[in-house]
Amino acid sequence: MSSTDRFKPPGKVTSGDIYEVFRSKDEWVLNTSDFDDNIDWASRSTVRRQLDEMLKSGEIHSKQAGKGENSGLVWYPSDKIREVPQPTPDPIKLIYRNPWFSTFIIGLLIIGFGFILFMPGLINNGPVLGIVNPRAMINAGVVFYVIGVGTALGGAVMFANRQFITAIRNRNTPN
């Protein structure tokens, strides 16, 4: 995935993420694109920045591979690693890799905001805080509630669509 079609990642790439790529590839010498492909929830520059920080701290080493135009950096871990840090938590990866999840959560937050507007308007007989007409708060709450339900349903439909496509692919894949 190229860096042009990514949004800004919600988290920072950690050294644990870099070591996770070494483990998942089961190789000890990798090029920069191996890291970019496996840490798909972060931008290429963020991954490269973490590799450079780890290089400065001695956690990994790099070497120029090849000569001329076809040369590139390869990365390999240091022998003096005492403790391998944990990779980025799965919730951040879940949010990036599954847009339905983000859409669903945003819908729930909008529903909550609508509820916050709706209830004081419903309970009070007079103006809320002496400023806002209760009827206006009720109307605004209903509007936010409807928008939130629509957004949450959109996320649920995206999830169902993804599950349906996965089921069809698995059904059509020969064993």
Q: Is residue 89 part of a domain?
A: no
What's the pLDDT at 88?
A: 58
Determine the Cα–Cα distance for residues 133 and 135; give it in Å rounded to an integer: 5
Is there a single domain that holds both residue 12 and residue 69?
yes
pLDDT of residue 148: 92
Same domain, 116 and 59: no
Element (H, E) at 53: helix 44-57
Q: Are 115 and 138 in contact (CB under 8 A)?
A: no
Domain-embedded: residue 91: no
Question: Is 127 among the domain residues?
Answer: yes
Number of structural domains (the chain) is 2
Digit-coded pLDDT (tens) for 38-55: 777 677 788 888 888 888
Q: How far apart are CA 132 and CA 127, in angstroms?
A: 5
Q: What is the pLDDT of residue 6?
A: 43
pLDDT of residue 168: 79
Q: Are residues 108 and 139 in the same domain?
A: yes
Put simply, whether the predicted model's pTM sits higher than 0.75 gets the answer: no
In the predicted model, residues of the chain with pLDDT beneath 50 are 1-10
Shared domain for 125 and 158, answered yes or no, is yes
For residue 29, the model assigns a pLDDT of 85
The β-bridge relationship of strands 30-31 and 60-65 is unpaired
Claim to verify: residue 168 and residue 106 sit in the same structural domain: yes
Confidence at residue 67, expressed as pLDDT on a 0 to 100 scale: 77
pLDDT at residue 35, rounded to an integer:
81
Whole-number pLDDT of residue 175: 54
Q: Which H or E run includes 73?
A: strand 72-77
Residue 158 is predicted with a pLDDT of 86
- Do 56 and 12 lie in one domain? The reply is yes
pLDDT digits over 51-68, tens only? Answer: 888 888 888 888 887 777
Range of the domain at 56: 3-77
